[in-house]
Chain A
Amino acid sequence: MPARNIIVYSTPTCPYCIQVKEYLKSKNVPFTDYNVATDIQARNEMVQKSGQLGVPVIDVDGQIVVGFNRNKLDQLLS
């Protein structure tokens, strides 16, 4: 699989964020995790990229996925 740049924008309390990160780990896909509860710069970046304020947001090489959408992520990671 080609190297990808994957960013997860999450909060520590959000269960879907936990699931997304577990999912990526299970696929052995490295990712950068930003805690948007405290990292305001990352929060603004997330809002700018996704046009909304809900977590998780996943950025796969510039493709934005809002929420833990497994089918979409499966497709983007394949």
Chain B
Amino acid sequence: MTNKPERELIIIGAGPAGMTAAVYAARKQLDTLVLTKDIGGQALWSSDIENYLGFTFITGADLVRRFEEHVRSFAVSVEYAAVAKVSRNGDIFEVLTEDNRRFFSRALIVSSGKSPRMLGVPGEKEFAGRGVTYCATCDAPLFTGKNVAVVGGGNSGLDAAVQLMRICPRVYLIEVADRLRGDEAIQDRVRRAENVTILTGTTVKEIRGNNFVRSVVVQDIRTNEISELEVEGVFVEIGLSPNSGFVKELVKLNKWGEIPVDCGARTSIPGLFAAGDVTDVPQKQIICAAGDGAKAALGAYSYLVRVPVPTDWLKSQ
């Protein structure tokens, strides 16, 4: 099925914000296309969700499945693609995908979320999927019986270390700051484990290997001493960065690369709305993202009603 490229509204991203926006847009009968790499966004990675209203407990995968069912109950078009660039000609947005397809709309909601931040060291890209991983939940069991390194001493790094210390002979936990940053309770569990070596004040310089990772080179930032740890897995858990590169020439991003929005999910560009973790809204929560998605869709609806349709728009239909 090919989706027609001209729409009233395009939503980029199908996490909680984008999917909620899609439901609101569908109920307003806006002709909407969702352009996304996947369904679920970061919500998919949550193993336990206990604060989304209506569910005392649900997994990320289950909540996402329900969101998707809800979206699919409406006639919403979904196209799987990564977005390369968004530009604006007059009142029309043009969305170029990485596979060089073009889509057009009168209003646009960016709800593209965040992606795992990369270390940016030699060997990282080369060994991605060959020992370097950004999804401990997915890949931890594949490293049973192997020595591994976890980079990042925040909660996600600690969670990864806890999963891995049960199945790996040695786990190195590497943190650049002089202390771990995650919750005290998890820190205690990691500290008590005999097979976890905590290396604070330490940075990763390089990831080495042949076909697969064989070692990670680290440096003690106090003494500058370099050492090489023999590991077959490197779990990178150093936070997330916003997927906003494709609008950076259109909107001024904040210093973290997030899209500034007002209380109505509006950006500085008329007709361009943003919602969820890609925005500067500080609360990175599923329920907040969903609420922001609703605001963005309602905002886009009012905008579309108010702004006249360009005379040469949709002549073909």
Query: Could you say which of B45, B81, B133, B211 contacts A15, with CB atoms under 8 Å apart?
Result: B45
Is A49 in contact with chain B by the CB < 8 A criterion?
no
Is A29 in contact with chain B by the CB < 8 A criterion?
no
Q: A13 CA to B39 CA in the complex, in Å?
A: 17
Q: A15 CA to B39 CA in the complex, in Å?
A: 11
Chain B residue contacts of A71, Cβ below 8 A? 80-81
Q: Classify the interface of chain A: helix, strand, loop or mixed.
A: loop
Query: Could you say which of B81, B129, B144 contacts A37, with CB atoms under 8 Å apart?
Result: B144
Q: A43 CA to B211 CA in the complex, in Å?
A: 16
Query: Could you say which of A11, A16, A70 contacts B44, with CB atoms under 8 Å apart?
Result: A16
User: A13 and B142 in contact (CB under 8 A), knowing A19-B39, A53-B130?
Assistant: no
Contact-residue size bin, chain B (C-beta under 8 Å from the other chain): 20 to 34
Q: A15 CA to B61 CA in the complex, in Å?
A: 6
Query: Could you say which of B45, B61, B64, B129 contacts A53, with CB atoms under 8 Å apart?
Result: B129
The reply to whether B45 and A13 form a contact with Cβ atoms under 8 Å apart is no
Chain A residue contacts of B269, Cβ below 8 A? none
B165 to chain A, nearest CB (A): 16
Q: A55 CA to B130 CA in the complex, in Å?
A: 11
Q: A68 CA to B65 CA in the complex, in Å?
A: 15
User: A54 and B137 in contact (CB under 8 A), knowing A70-B80, A71-B80?
Assistant: no
Chain B residue contacts of A70, Cβ below 8 A? 80
The reply to whether A53 and B138 form a contact with Cβ atoms under 8 Å apart is no
Q: A68 CA to B47 CA in the complex, in Å?
A: 19
Chain B, residue nearest A43 (CB): B142
Is A51 in contact with chain B by the CB < 8 A criterion?
yes
A34 to chain B, nearest CB (A): 12
Contact-residue size bin, chain A (C-beta under 8 Å from the other chain): 20 to 34
Is B309 in contact with chain A by the CB < 8 A criterion?
no
Is B103 in contact with chain A by the CB < 8 A criterion?
no
User: A68 and B38 in contact (CB under 8 A), knowing A51-B130, A54-B133?
Assistant: yes
Q: A11 CA to B137 CA in the complex, in Å?
A: 9
Is A52 in contact with chain B by the CB < 8 A criterion?
yes
User: A19 and B40 in contact (CB under 8 A), knowing A14-B138, A51-B211?
Assistant: yes
Is B212 in contact with chain A by the CB < 8 A criterion?
yes
Chain B residue contacts of A76, Cβ below 8 A? none
Chain B residue contacts of A14, Cβ below 8 A? 135, 137-139
Is A45 in contact with chain B by the CB < 8 A criterion?
no
Q: A70 CA to B34 CA in the complex, in Å?
A: 15
Most interface-central of A15, A51, A71 (chain B CB within 10 A): A15
Chain A residue contacts of B141, Cβ below 8 A? 11, 13, 36-38
The 6 A-B residue pairs with the shortest CB-CB distance in the complex, in nearest-first order: A37-B141, A14-B138, A52-B129, A54-B129, A15-B44, A15-B61
Which residues on B are within 8 Å of A, measured CB to CB?
38-40, 44-45, 47, 60-61, 64-65, 80-81, 129-131, 133, 135, 137-142, 144, 211-212
5 further interface pairs, Cβ-Cβ under 8 Å (given A14-B135, A53-B131): A13-B138, A19-B44, A19-B61, A54-B138, A70-B80
